[in-house]
Amino acid sequence: MAQLWGGRFTKETDRLVYNFNASISFDRKFYEEDIEGSIAHVVMLEKQGILTEGEKNEIVKGLTGIREDVKNGILEITEEYEDIHSFVEANLIQRIGEAGKKLHTGRSRNDQVALDMKLYTRAEVVHVAEETEELLRTLLTIMEENLETYMPGFTHLQKAQPVTLAHHMGAYFEMFKRDSLRLRDIYARMNYCPLGSGALAGTTYPLDRAYTASLLGFEGPTLNSMDSVADRDYLIEFLSALSTVMMHLSRFCEEIILWNSNEYRFVEIDDAYATGSSIMPQKKNPDIAELVRGKTGRVYGALVSLLTTMKGLPLAYNKDMQEDKELTFDAIDTVKGCLALFNGMLKTMKFRKDVMAASAVNGFTNATDAADYLVGKGMPFRDAHEVIGRLVLFCIEKNKGIDALSLEELKEISPVFEADLFEAVSLKACVEKRLTGGAPGPGAMKEAIRQNREFLNQSWLKERA
């Protein structure tokens, strides 16, 4: 048991207490961030005349050595240390002696851990956004290739009006685009450095917090030392954004599972992304889509868990906040994994364009267009709706589609129908007439694709690179 705080105690910590309290098993994940923060801290301490140049050089060299040795597997992070901060400091003192004991001057583990977690998450916000934009690129390619791939659009899971595959994928593009923008906003809002806030009330040393912040690539230092050590809003926002990404993925997965079923047959998942059954030889199951849908629950769980942990915590630091780590790490790893797998599945999926088009033809997806046709002939829309309602009922009785009726049959319903109806309610016409911005018509779709191509070319991630 290696602790940083023995002086005031007369007894050894109980073993179970030690284990319960320790965080090394998971905060070892940010050993590099911990060292990076410590290096910035001592560089600043020297600039401020708090450490000598010699001390600073020794400490930086020691810390860099620890980082290299851990990376190369020469130095193992073992559970005998309470947390990653203790591990690094103890190793530093072992390596360089007296100067190492000065590392923690003007710092507390409270502002240290706030910084480490922020550095770690800040990088992960970018990684998740990169994975999201990879998916956006796949979606845009499918959109460009499928401007005339017709399929039914649904409301209430009932066929509603014909759309195109480009349009359907375009809806998901918008969702994941918002996800990327949400991550950009979170990045900007969290990008302030808590280091130099001490345990809660700052320090008595003349730290240059703005300097440390700039060394670590932050916009600036945070403005209130109590808030700095007590704030986990940025994690809650990130978990909320991750939950939204998962909600989008899960909806998409649900559709793919339906589309891949024998009833729809709209898509075929590539063999590399499907699995079989141990008993039923004919089966090819969409397990990846189901697992992504299933893992959504655990990311939501992380969000609700942290919200609940933070609720009711008095200012400033409380040990409850140590609970922020495992769940955040798990949520980040889950979302990155899901995005990558989903993207691979989507890229290799085959769309059965003939089945989709055939499905769009039946189910009266052109009924609205038939009503619009009558409006074009001068009938008020509400009357046209009534006429087409009767026409659909007639078709259901005859077991025929609108376009399979004869002109005589049509005229029985309304004398306004002429032979030009058939062209007006064809699948192609139904889609092509939809011109409004955001609609599936080719003009509107091309404009959406152009703007979205531009979005990817101007990505906020490029500014950061």
Q: Which residues carry out catalysis? A: 156, 277
Least gap, CB of 12 to ligand ARG (angstroms) = 18
Q: Which helix (H) or strand (E) holds 158?
A: strand 158-164
Nearer to ligand ARG, 254 or 323 (CB): 323
Q: Does 203 bind ligand ARG (CB under 6 A)?
A: no
* Span from 109-117, 210-218, 419-427, 442-450 in contact with ligand ARG (CB under 6 A): 109-117
Please state, in angstroms and rounded to a whole number, the distance separating the CA atoms of residues 289 and 269: 10
Nearer to ligand ARG, 113 or 357 (CB): 113
Of 52, 41, 30, 31, which Cα lies nearest the Cα of 216? 41
> Restricting to residues 83-102, which ones interact with ligand ARG according to CB under 6 A?
83
Least gap, CB of 269 to ligand ARG (angstroms) = 42
Report CA-CA distances (Å) from 332 to 8, 13, 114, 240, 249. 39, 34, 18, 11, 14
The answer to whether residues 388 and 417 touch, using CB atoms and an 8 Å cutoff, is: no
* Span from 54-62, 108-116, 207-215, 439-447 in contact with ligand ARG (CB under 6 A): 108-116
The answer to whether residues 267 and 169 touch, using CB atoms and an 8 Å cutoff, is: no
All residues at 6 or more sequence positions from 175 whose CB lies less than 8 Å from its CB, including other chains:
248
Strands 150-155 and 158-164: antiparallel
Please state, in angstroms and rounded to a whole number, the distance separating the CA atoms of residues 69 and 464: 29
Q: Does 197 bind ligand ARG (CB under 6 A)?
A: no
Please state, in angstroms and rounded to a whole number, the distance separating the CA atoms of residues 141 and 166: 9
Instruction: Using CB under 6 A, pick the residue from 41, 102, 107, 109 that binds ligand ARG.
Output: 109
Name the one residue in this structure whose structure tokens are 């998740």: 128
Least gap, CB of 321 to ligand ARG (angstroms) = 5
Least gap, CB of 307 to ligand ARG (angstroms) = 17
Other CB atoms within a 10 A radius of the CB of residue 137 amount to: 12
Please state, in angstroms and rounded to a whole number, the distance separating the CA atoms of residues 367 and 161: 8
Least gap, CB of 199 to ligand ARG (angstroms) = 7
Q: Is the dihedral of CA 186, 192, 195, 199 positive or negative?
A: negative
Q: Is 118 helix (H, G, I), strand (E, B) or coil?
A: helix
Count the residues of the shown chain that bind ligand ARG, applying the rule CB under 6 A: 10
Instruction: Using CB under 6 A, pick the residue from 59, 96, 113, 421 that binds ligand ARG.
Output: 113
> Restricting to residues 24-83, which ones interact with ligand ARG according to CB under 6 A?
27, 83
Nearer to ligand ARG, 85 or 184 (CB): 85
Least gap, CB of 207 to ligand ARG (angstroms) = 19
What are the residues facing 2 on neighbouring strands? 81
Nearer to ligand ARG, 202 or 401 (CB): 202
Instruction: Using CB under 6 A, pick the residue from 135, 143, 321, 402 that binds ligand ARG.
Output: 321
Instruction: Using CB under 6 A, pick the residue from 13, 224, 240, 322 that binds ligand ARG.
Output: 322
Strands 220-221 and 150-155: unpaired
* Span from 55-63, 119-127, 316-324, 330-338 in contact with ligand ARG (CB under 6 A): 316-324
The residues that touch ligand ARG, with contacts defined as CB under 6 A, are 23, 27, 83, 109-110, 113, 317, 319, 321-322
